[in-house]
Amino acid sequence: MTRALITFELPDPFLQRLEQNYPQVEWVRCTERDPLFELLPETEILLTFFRGSRKMLDAAPKLKWIQAISAGIDYLALDEIGRRGILVTNGRGIHAIHMAEYTIAAMINLARGFHLMFRHQMRKQWERDVPQQEIYGATAGIIGLGAIGLEIARKAAFMGMRVIGVKRTPTPQPHVDDVYGPHDMGVVFQHSDYVVNLLPYTAATDKMIDRRCFDLMKPTAAFINIGRGQTVNEEDLIAALRTHKMHALVSDVYYTEPLPADSPLWEMDNVILTPHVCGVSPHYMARAMEIIEHNLSVYLSGKGDMINKVDVVAGY
């Protein structure tokens, strides 16, 4: 019998659904390290969430397919996965709705100065001189027009914004006025009022967004960082904020997490920080199950096409 090992806390109703719908599979849920490694040698399918080390792969000689329920897969030992020809699918699309809502909320918060007014509230200060702006008519620049980026584009366009963005293959996209390739990313930084970073982390994107990008931004523009923290040169980002190369930052991800207590970002008035919660949603597992069940049906029957196949060389 095919063993499928689940390395995260999949709620009981979803586990029971898998057991009922796929009785030909031995379903095992295990989150503790030692029992996990005892189960890996007979595992063919791995359902995982931020677990997939080289040591785990070495302990799983029968492993054929990894279904990650995250969008990013930089935590997987991709070189070994590629060498062994293990199939990888991810959770692309799960995050689109709630991460797009976070982004729209971030832009409105910055436009209306809610972060500044909240600080005044904590000090019991009645201050009416906080600048008030609109996102209507502003330009949103999206670095990474995948499932999340396109949902942000849809919502931003509905709010009356102009949308431009970067895509690895720059083809026309719905709700996006202009699409640029990676080599033209600077154009998006130059012309946007809000730059949204959605880049995945790979060797090629390490600290890709740096001083060269920030120097192109309008002094009235803001940077919203919700992709991977390692894609941004944090020292350059801090310098740009200090010298007012940009107006403000909203960040949910950081080069080092948790964000170190001595980071200057904590005390900057033009910064809003959240603790890597942008991707969290009460509907996360329900949306993940749609991907898991589709791909399981294809894998077990040999009919149809899996969704969210990952290019392990590119890293996404």
* SS3 per-residue string spanning 136-202: CCCEEEEECCCHHHHHHHHHHHHCCCEEEEECCCCCCCCCCCEEECHHHHHHHHHHCCEEEECCCCC
Domains belonging to the chain, first-starting first, are 2-93+282-301 (3.40.50.720), 96-273 (3.40.50.720)
Q: How far is the first Cα of the chain from the last one, in angstroms, to the nearest whole number?
A: 31
- Output the pTM of the full model: 0.93
User: How many other CB atoms are there within 10 angstroms of residue 59's CB atom?
Assistant: 16
In the chain, the amino acid numbered 313 is: V
**Alpha carbon distance 5, 30 (integer Å):** 7
- The predicted structure's pLDDT at residue 316: 87
Backbone φ and ψ of 294, nearest 5°:
-60, -50
- The predicted structure's pLDDT at residue 153: 98
**Parts of the chain with a pLDDT under 70:** none
- The predicted structure's pLDDT at residue 119: 95
- The predicted structure's pLDDT at residue 277: 97
